[in-house]
Structure formats: structure tokens, C-alpha cells
Amino acid sequence: MITRIDLRGRSLSARELAETLPRAEVGVEDAAHQVAPIIEAVRTRGAEALREYAERFDGVRPEHLRVPADAIAAALADLDPAVRAGLEEAIRRVRLVHAAQRPQDFSVELGPGARVRQRWVPVRRVGLYAPGGLAVYPSSVVMNVVAAQEAGVRSLAVASPPQRDGAGLPHPTILAACALLGVEEVYAVGGAQAVAMFAYGAAGSEPQDGDVLCEPVDVVTGPGNVFVAAAKRLVRGVVGIDAEAGPTEIAILADGTADPGHVAADLISQAEHDPLAAAVLVTPSVELAAAVEARLTDLVPATKHAQRVAQSLAGPQSAVVLVDDLEHGLQVVDAYGAEHLEIQTVGASELADRVTSAGAIFVGPWAPVSLGDYMAGSNHVLPTGGCAHFSSGLGVHSYVKAVQVIEYDRDALEELADRIVAVANDEDLPAHGEAVRARFL
């Protein structure tokens, strides 16, 4: 069911390790070739192309690409009270954590009359994606919207795929989550086409769309399958994006003290997202490895999405990796750079502080990834495919930019004039120096 990779006694460089560790066969690069024409079609043909792709990929032609306000209100009115209570608790906790993320402005005095300040400014408008293909993700609405709101963004739009059995609207719980958060601009658009609509905007094609269906945004964020991640890579530069948050990954670093039942359940919980999801156990304990493999064999056929889970666990992106000891395990998980890393070992907290590449780290037996998926307060939109080596999960920082403000008075500039001229002339840009000199003639 799941491959074993035995790294015991092998001393590999970081590059060799990265090549040896499991990764999905269909990567973002491959998907990018498939989604490039979708982006071009939405850019040039707007809503007409959006309806065509909804029919092709989601099996429904939405009458309203922009969800009417009464449908959003009705979804909240019909929401199961237990689900509403869960979403409200998630919103409360995620808001607390994200309010604490707001970066501080600062001001540095470099001498009398010489000051540089830095202000953090939210972007004007954002497009937030909530997946809705194999599963639906109102939790992703919470993660995107709360982070953007806490950053101070004023204009927020949400997109999620139209559902076949919902008259071409996004799933009702997605709409209800938008209503709970006060988001009024919601689109029944999925996948790469949603990312393209946000990046370039879209003209309407039916009277109910109006002339302009959607105005372009400054930043597109949110998780999705490999096509969504590929589309975000392709529009980066036209707009800002968060990390590539594609098919989910769980890596678990565990020793012989871990409960094999918990480890197996956590691997399955992430495998149920997507046949391309990755589940990786890294352990120095052959006994734990064998016990987890046995539990997987028992548990997978009984789980609701058994076929998807089995595909994910059997795929080249999933494995049980045997290592010499926990130090070796730490090197391996750092080289992998998982979206989610669970540490179920003796001294888990100390090990967690030594990890350098992971989207989020879940410490000890009582912090499973499912907690973070919904309600820990942390954000569940996290970098995949090794992007954790250079990028962070979604947060307030994803929606703000730093603007530096330079204030020098006459004396402060005059003090530097000769030095500026010397460096400018050395760069063969003498007009730069002359612009300073001109002020003191």
C-alpha cells in the first residue's frame, strides 16, 4: 500500500536527499502547460470562457457567475447550527492569531534632520480562492478572509467552484461562511479560471453579469489542487500571490513512543484530500513503521474516501522513510520541507524549534493536523511541493507591503553631498550627483 524508503546508513547531501524523497509525479510545472490556455481564454473572453470551463470541469453552466446577495443570505439562514458554531469558533481563534501578526511600522533617526520611516500598507483588493472540487472548503474561506481582514484589506472577493447539485452556485456552506464574515462579492468560478479572473478581471457575457463581471485584484491567495497552484504560478507578477498551496502534504517524524493508530489516522486524514496528496512517515523505529503499515491496511478500506486515500498512499509522493535516528530524521524532514510536519517523539518541542523548513509544525500527540485544518487558530493555507524552503503560509503578511518614507532636511543632505557625488560618479551616473549639487549652488 505504501512504499518504504530505507535511508539507514546512507549519508546523502541535501540535494541528493531532496531527489530521493517522495514527490508527486504530476507537478505544478506539468499542470502549468495545461492551464496556460485557460488563463489566456479568460483574459481575452471573460465570462464567456468562465461559463465554458465551468461546464467542462464542474459539469454545470452557472446562470449567475456573481452569486446573488439573497443566495448568500439564504445559505446562512439554512446553515446547520452545529456547523455554524464550529465556523464561529474557527473565526474567533484565527482572528486572535492573525491580529497578533500585524507588523509594526518603525522610524529610524540617522542623525539630526535625517529620518527613514517604514509603513505597512494593505493592498487595495484581493481575490480569495476556496476549493470545491473533490471536497468543499468553507474552512479555507475563514483562513483567507480573516487574514485579509486583519491586514486591513478593504475590497475582498471570494471564488469557489459551482456545484452541480446547487444550481451552479458554490456549496452552501461556502456561501454561509462568506455571510458570517461579511463578504458580499462571491463568484461561482473554480480552478485556474478563477485565478485568471482575479488576475485580469473579466468582462460580462450575459445581461446579469453587467459589462464588467469582476474587477482585477492586487493579490490572489488560497489553496487548491495542482491546477490552482499552477495558475497562481503563471499569474505571479501580474498580481501578487501567497505561496503555492497545492495538493496537501503531511510528514510525520515519529519515534517508538508514538501511537501507531494516531500516526496512521493522521496520514489517512491528509490522504483523503486528493489522490495527489502526500503522506510521509519518517522514523528510526522499524517496529513503529511496521505497526503503522499494518494499521493502514486495516483502516484504509473502512474510511469513507477509501479509493482516494489508497491512491494517495500508493502514489510516488507517499512513503515510510526509515532513518538512523532522530537527528537523521530531522535532516530528512528539513530536506523535504513539508506543508504540515507532525513531530511525535520524545522531546518533540525541542526538535520542533530546530526545524528550518515546514509550512506549519504540529507538536506532540495532541496537536494533529486536523486541528490546524479547522480550529487551532493558525492558518491552514500553507506552501507545498518544497516551497516551504523559501515561503511561508498565508497570513497578514500576504496582504501588506512595506513603504519606506525618507525625510532629510537641508543640513542632513548637505552633510552627505560629497559622498553621494563620489559614489554616483563611480557608477558613471553623474546626473545623480548633480541633482544633489544643484540644491547647494
Binding-site sequence positions for NAD(+): 129, 193, 225
Which of 2-10, 244-252, 281-289, 415-423 is the region at the interface with ligand NAD (rule: CB under 6 A)?
Answer: 244-252
Residues ≥6 apart with Cβ < 8 Å to 174: 75, 130, 132, 136, 137, 138, 141, 158, 160, 186
Separation between Cα atoms, residue 23 and residue 66, nearest integer Å? 37
Contact flag: residue 142 with ligand NAD (CB under 6 A): no
> Residue 46 belongs to what H/E stretch?
helix 28-53
Contact flag: residue 395 with ligand NAD (CB under 6 A): no
Q: What's the closest the beta carbon of residue 430 comes to ligand NAD, in angstroms?
A: 51
Q: Which is nearer to ligand NAD, 121 or 135 (CB)?
A: 135
238: its cell numbers: 501580474
Contact flag: residue 274 with ligand NAD (CB under 6 A): yes
Separation between Cα atoms, residue 309 and residue 277, nearest integer Å? 9
Q: Which is nearer to ligand NAD, 56 or 92 (CB)?
A: 56
Q: Which one of 249, 339, 342, 380 is the catalytic residue?
A: 339
Residue type, 406: I
Compute CA 419 distance to the chain's CA centroid, rounded to the nearest angstrom: 45
Residues 281-320 that bind ligand NAD (CB under 6 A): none
Contact flag: residue 173 with ligand NAD (CB under 6 A): no
Contact flag: residue 380 with ligand NAD (CB under 6 A): yes
Q: Which of 273, 295, 305, 328 touches ligand NAD by CB under 6 A?
A: 273
Contact flag: residue 248 with ligand NAD (CB under 6 A): yes
Q: What's the closest the beta carbon of residue 144 comes to ligand NAD, in angstroms?
A: 10
Contact flag: residue 266 with ligand NAD (CB under 6 A): no
Binding flags for ligand NAD, 2-41, as an x/- string (CB under 6 A): --------------------------------xx------
Residue 170 in contact with residue 188, Cβ under 8 Å? yes
Taking residue 136's Cβ as centre, other Cβ atoms within 10 Å add up to 20
What does the DSSP 8-state code read for residue 222?
A: -
Q: What's the closest the beta carbon of residue 285 comes to ligand NAD, in angstroms?
A: 28
Of 227, 235, 230, 226, the closest CA to residue 198 belongs to 235
Binding-site sequence positions for Zn(2+): 270, 273, 373, 432
Compute CA 110 distance to the chain's CA centroid, rounded to the nearest angstrom: 38
Separation between Cα atoms, residue 250 and residue 25, nearest integer Å? 17
Beta partners for 341?
A: 251, 361
Residues 180-209 that bind ligand NAD (CB under 6 A): 190-192
> Residue 233 belongs to what H/E stretch?
helix 226-235
Contact flag: residue 277 with ligand NAD (CB under 6 A): yes
Q: Which one of 98, 262, 340, 380 is the catalytic residue?
A: 340
What does the DSSP 8-state code read for residue 399?
A: G
Contact flag: residue 374 with ligand NAD (CB under 6 A): no
Of 87, 94, 139, the closest CA to residue 378 belongs to 94
- Summary count for the chain: helices (H), strands (E): 16, 16
Q: Which is nearer to ligand NAD, 170 or 260 (CB)?
A: 170
Separation between Cα atoms, residue 15 and residue 334, nearest integer Å? 12
Q: Is 340 a catalytic residue?
A: yes
Which of 61-69, 98-106, 221-229, 312-320 is the region at the interface with ligand NAD (rule: CB under 6 A)?
Answer: 221-229
Q: Is 389 a catalytic residue?
A: no
Q: Which residues are catalytic?
A: 339-340
List residues binding ligand NAD (CB under 6 A): 34-35, 57-58, 131-135, 137, 140, 161, 190-192, 223-225, 227-228, 245-248, 273-274, 277, 339, 380-382, 384
